[in-house]
Every structure is written in C-alpha cells, then in structure tokens.
Amino acid sequence: MVSSNNAQQAWQRAQAALALQLTASEYDTLVGPCRFFSYEDGELKLLVPNSVARDLLGNRLRPWLKEHLAQLLGEYVDVHLILDTAVPDAAAPATPLELLAAQAHPAEEQAGSLPAGGNRLNPAYTFDSLVIGPHNNLVCAAAKQIVNLEASHFASLFIYANTGLGKTHLLHAIGHLAQSLQARVCLCSSEQFTNDLVASLRHRKGSADAMDRFRRRYREVDLLLIDDLQFLANKAKTQEELFHTFAALYAAGKKVVLTSDAPPSQLHGLEQRLQSRFEGGLVVDIEAPDSETRLAILEAKTQLFGYDLTLDLLQPIAFQTYVNVRELEGVLHRLNLIQRQQNGELSLHQVEQHIESLAPEQEPVEPELMLKVISDNYGIKVEDLVGTARNRNTSRARQTAMYLLHRDLKLTLKATGRLLGGRDHKTISHGIRQMQQRLAGEPQLVRDIMEVRSRLQSTVAAQDWT
C-alpha cells in the first residue's frame, strides 16, 4: 500500500517535472501555490488557492497528473483539487482575465534578486542522489569544479549525452551546489529562454524596459544553466541573444553550463560563433552506465520510489543492456505493478521473464561467439562445452548454451544440437526443459544467464567499435 509520505514525494517530483515544462508565469500561477493534502485508496488531494486556479489546473493538467503519478506510484491515481481556505482571497486573481493577465505580465524582479526560473531546482536532483560511476565521473568532477567560480579555469561547461542519461539531473545538482555556496543561479530550458525572449520582444513597445528585465534575469547571475540546447537550432534571434548573454557573462567572470544531445560540432543549425564559444570551454559527455552502475542506480531508484524490490530481483535488470536510466525506471514501475497485483509476491524467474519482453533490441550475435562467451563464463574450453565431458560445471554450461541458443538466438532444436557436438533434438529439448524448471528455483542460475547476456553484448559492442 502506498504511504502518504510516498505520495507526497511523488507530488513533489511531478511539480519538478512541470517546472521544466511550463513557463515561469504558468508554473507560479497554476502549480506553485498547490499543496499536498492527503493520499488514501488511490485518491490524491491537492489544496489550490482559488476556484480559477482549480478550474484551469483541472482542465489543463489533471489528466497529465493522473498518468504521471500513476507511473510513479505503481497504481491508479485520481487527483482531486480542493479550495485552500487558508489562502486569502486577495492573494489570487479574482477572474480568468486577471489570471491570464498575470501570466502575460509577470511581476518585475527586484534588482539583485534571484532570476525567475532560477529558484525551481528539482529538490530530488542533487549530487547526493546522483549515482556516480565510470560513465559520468569525469563530467561530475568538471561540474563540481565549475561551481567553484574562483578556482575554475574554464568559463563554460558543455555536457552532451543521449536522452535519459542524467544531463538534467546533473544540471540541477550543479544549481543546488552553487546555491549552497551563495551563488546567484539561473536555470532554464532552451525553450524557456526562447519564450522569455519572445515575450520581452512582444511587449517591448508597451514596456520600454522589457528587454532590460530579460537581460537582467539572465546576465546578473553567477551561474547560468541551460538545458537541451539542441532545440535552439535555426533560431537566429535566440542564438544572437544567447551569444551576447554568453559574452556578457564571460566578460564579468561568470560561468555557463549547457546540456545537449550532441557535442557543439554536431549541432546542426547552430551558428559558428556560438559553436566556437562552447568549444572554447570544457566539453564532456556522459556515457551509458555499465552493469555495476546500473545496479547502483536501480537500488537508489527503488529506495526513492519506496518499492519493495530486493537486490536479487534487481540484479537481472542491471545485467540487461538498457540504453538509459529512464528505461531502467520504466522496468521498475512495471515490476512494482506486477508485484502489487500478486499481493507482494514476485520471483526471480518472473523478473527474468518480464524484463526479456522489455529489453531493448540487441545487436545480432553469431552462435560461435555465444559459445565462446558461455565457455569463458564457466571457465571451460569450447571443446569441452560441445564435447562429451559430463562433470557438473560443464553440464551446467552446456544446458545454458542450449537454453540461450534456442531462446535468444531463435535457433531450431536441430540447429542447436548441431552446434553442440551433433546432439539430437530430443536431448536439446530435454536440456531446455530442465533449465526452465531450474530457473524457477535457482536465483544463481538466473544471475548466470544475465551475466552471459551482459558479457555477450559487451563483446559485440567492442567488436563493432574496432
């Protein structure tokens, strides 16, 4: 059963996700004032400041909230919005027109205050919650160094990686660390930067200092953090403003951190002068995590979500070659749901069966390579694997080969037998049935299977690289 504490944490994560999707004024008007009230029997109640915010939030965001919270909590969630009687009526717009006006003309920031958008750091995205391993230790070291504004020898840090590998988490962690050192921080997505620029240009005639406010927001800071830079491609006016913002911060001795899905040289539609600026700083990538790091990530996520998945159940997930952390989270959510449907019961064999259907498509593997990897994993020679030796270790390795050749490589029983020293299809069929029975009751065998698969994909990847 989901506790009220876990539900409140899920609401905070949903708020953080919305902070990255909405404009600053939309978030501050619709989401920021909402408060968690209770969670019971799949019903999450939120306190909203007034009826106008309740109606707009219900119409625009309630479906998204229900789906997102259900994914986080592993069960169906209904969202109820309740008027917060503790909030004075005068604190909120009284009519839809006033509310829309508040969105279109957010209050001006006081000079020297924290820029809008810079105070919405995700509380869950810190260095303490970030799993550091060989895939990201270099970029994490660079991130911590750039926060030390005096000691850093580079003006900008450009972080690139495929989707779901932790760029946004790291960007927020940098922001938290910098704020703890009393630095003025502004974090935004490239879309928010563009939207704020467009709004400032649109209202420039009615408000002579609209652009001045925009520039103070993004330039009067110690550290500017911009996420998903790739979405600025071919936006000439936004790129021009970003170039001048970068130049102003550089001249003032301030720092800039940017993230993207590709290095500057591969960002199509990016002006040459911006590319040159970014490449003049430090450019570092985040790689896909290895199996040990994936296991550490799974343990951290399981604790964060409040799931009851033990280490034995997490190990086979880690041995699969998932591309990114979001895929790992998706597997956890699905297995948690299955476990709840089975009254808390979930076997290692069930985990193995379910994650096979969720695993990403793998590179094609030659049968001979699989035999070599299995032999190495069990510490025997390929000749013994396909030969007549009948000791316990060799027999286990041979049955593993039968199972994986037939199940993973889709070889027929006859073809599998031919590879394993000319054994007939009845022998292969019997060996596979024995493996299926043992997998249901031998956790170590499941781990052996996953280890072979992991080594196999690593070997294939290494061959492709060379």
What residues form DSSP beta bridges with 158?
A: 258, 283
Distances (CA, A) of 460 to 454, 456, 463, 464: 10, 6, 5, 6
Residue 36's H or E segment, with its range, is: strand 35-40
**Residue 254, annotated as binding a ligand:** no
**Residue 133, annotated as binding a ligand:** no
Q: How far apart are CA 376 and CA 322, in angstroms?
A: 23
**Residue 235, annotated as binding a ligand:** no
What residues form DSSP beta bridges with 225?
A: 187, 257
Q: Which residues, in sequence order, are CB contacts of 451 under 8 Å at separation 6+?
A: 319, 377
Residue 225's H or E segment, with its range, is: strand 223-227
Q: How far apart are CA 242 and CA 245, in angstroms?
A: 5
Neighbours of 65 (CB within 10 A): 25
Distances (CA, A) of 453 to 289, 335, 394, 409, 446: 16, 20, 18, 11, 11
**Residue 330, annotated as binding a ligand:** no
Where does residue 191 rank: exposed (0-12), middle (13-18), buried (19+ CB within 10 A)?
Answer: middle
Binding residues: 164, 166-168
Binding residues for ATP: 164, 166-168
